[in-house]
């Protein structure tokens, strides 16, 4: 798929809940298979993990996402940050820091406009090593966030020592947020935990106005989800940013 150019990236806007403005995007990989059509990353990323091919794919994602973000800037759009998912095996790879540094250098993107998303379970596999890797990224000026927060088993005592700028409340807690008191309690606890540790909190999978209102009322900082936009092609991000610059805010 890599050699035949069958992969492409879509980008999903991340929106500030106070201002309604796009401040970043998450890069999400897609595989357009000549026979099977569009294959979901949920299907092929675990296989790529198992086979180790994720390292090469991940390198391509990093390069492509950094290059795209630099291109938006070069087109005169408001600078935003691009978030790239890093899976467990990639996170353990001893060349990851090099790959990231290369992607930045090659694209000319400023480190402050790249963010890496890792999961809790990925971090907890080898805690000492993960912290060392995260510190390296932090020193390079790259932001890190914990994806799917609440679904793994983070050590809360370790969390405070992580150079993490953002917690992403997992979709599974957002889905029934409007009606389920347990999910409401969990979301509020994550928001409060994140803020007390000086982190921003973003909710993923926000699909309804009720979910958004609950999050906003409970001081969640940011959101991402179909309510605002699905993952879209780079040209559409271009359009959204242009609309934003001309003062039209899309009902967030």
Q: Is residue 234 part of the contact set for ligand C2E (CB under 6 A)?
A: no
Looking at the Cβ atoms of 34 and 86, the one nearer to Mg ion is 86
CA-CA-CA-CA torsion sign (218, 206, 167, 71): negative
Single out the segment in contact with Mg ion by CB under 5 A; choices: 3-11, 44-52, 198-206, 244-252. Answer: 198-206
Looking at the Cβ atoms of 108 and 226, the one nearer to ligand C2E is 226
Number of amino acids touching Mg ion (CB under 5 A): 5
Structure tokens at 20: 């309604």
Q: Is residue 85 part of the contact set for Mg ion (CB under 5 A)?
A: yes
Interaction partner, residue 244 (ligand C2E, Mg ion, none; CB < 5-8 Å by kind): none
Angstrom distance (rounded) from CA 125 to CA 147:
15
CB of 83 to Mg ion, least distance (A): 7
Angstrom distance (rounded) from CA 30 to CA 38:
7
CA-CA-CA-CA torsion sign (78, 86, 7, 67): positive
Looking at the Cβ atoms of 150 and 234, the one nearer to Mg ion is 150
User: Which helix H or strand E contains 116, and what residues bound it?
Assistant: strand 114-119
Angstrom distance (rounded) from CA 43 to CA 48:
9
What burial class does residue 13 get, using C-beta atoms within 10 Å of its C-beta: 0-12 exposed, 13-18 middle, 19+ buried? buried
Interaction partner, residue 144 (Mg ion, ligand C2E, none; CB < 5-8 Å by kind): none
Interaction partner, residue 231 (ligand C2E, Mg ion, none; CB < 5-8 Å by kind): ligand C2E
Q: Is residue 226 part of the contact set for ligand C2E (CB under 6 A)?
A: yes
Q: Is residue 28 part of the contact set for ligand C2E (CB under 6 A)?
A: yes
How many CB atoms are located within 10 Å of the residue 8 CB?
A: 13
How many CB atoms are located within 10 Å of the residue 125 CB?
A: 14
CB of 87 to ligand C2E, least distance (A): 4
CB of 45 to ligand C2E, least distance (A): 5
Number of amino acids touching ligand C2E (CB under 6 A): 24
Q: Are 164 and 138 in contact (CB under 8 A)?
A: no
> Rule CB under 6 A: which residues touch ligand C2E?
12, 27-29, 40-42, 45, 58, 61, 85-87, 117, 147-148, 171, 204-207, 225-226, 231
């Amino acid at each position: 798929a890599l050699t035949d150019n069958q992969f492409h990236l879509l980008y999903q806007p991340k929106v500030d809940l106070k201002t309604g403005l796009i401040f970043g995007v998450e890069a999400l990989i897609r595989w357009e298979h000549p026979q099977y059509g569009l294959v979901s990353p949920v299907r092929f990323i675990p296989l790529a993990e198992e086979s180790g091919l994720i390292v090469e794919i991940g390198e391509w994602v990093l390069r492509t996402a950094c290059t795209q973000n630099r291109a938006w800037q070069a087109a005169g759009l408001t600078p935003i940050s691009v978030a790239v998912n890093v899976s467990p095996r990639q996170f353990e790879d001893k060349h990851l820091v090099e790959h990231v540094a290369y992607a930045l250098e090659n694209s000319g993107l400023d480190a402050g406009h790249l963010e890496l998303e890792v999961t809790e379970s990925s971090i907890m596999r080898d805690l000492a090593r993960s912290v060392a890797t995260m510190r390296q990224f932090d020193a390079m000026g790259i932001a890190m966030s914990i994806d799917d927060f609440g679904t793994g088993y983070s050590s809360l005592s370790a969390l405070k020592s992580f150079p993490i700028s953002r917690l992403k409340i997992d979709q599974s807690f957002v889905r029934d947020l409007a009606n389920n008191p347990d999910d409401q309690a969990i979301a509020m606890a994550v928001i409060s935990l994140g803020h007390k540790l000086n982190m921003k909190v973003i909710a993923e999978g926000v699909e309804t106005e009720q979910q958004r209102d609950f999050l906003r009322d409970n001081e969640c900082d940011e959101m991402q989800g179909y309510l605002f936009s699905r993952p879209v092609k780079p040209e559409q991000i271009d359009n959204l940013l242009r609309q934003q610059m001309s003062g039209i805010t899309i009902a967030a």
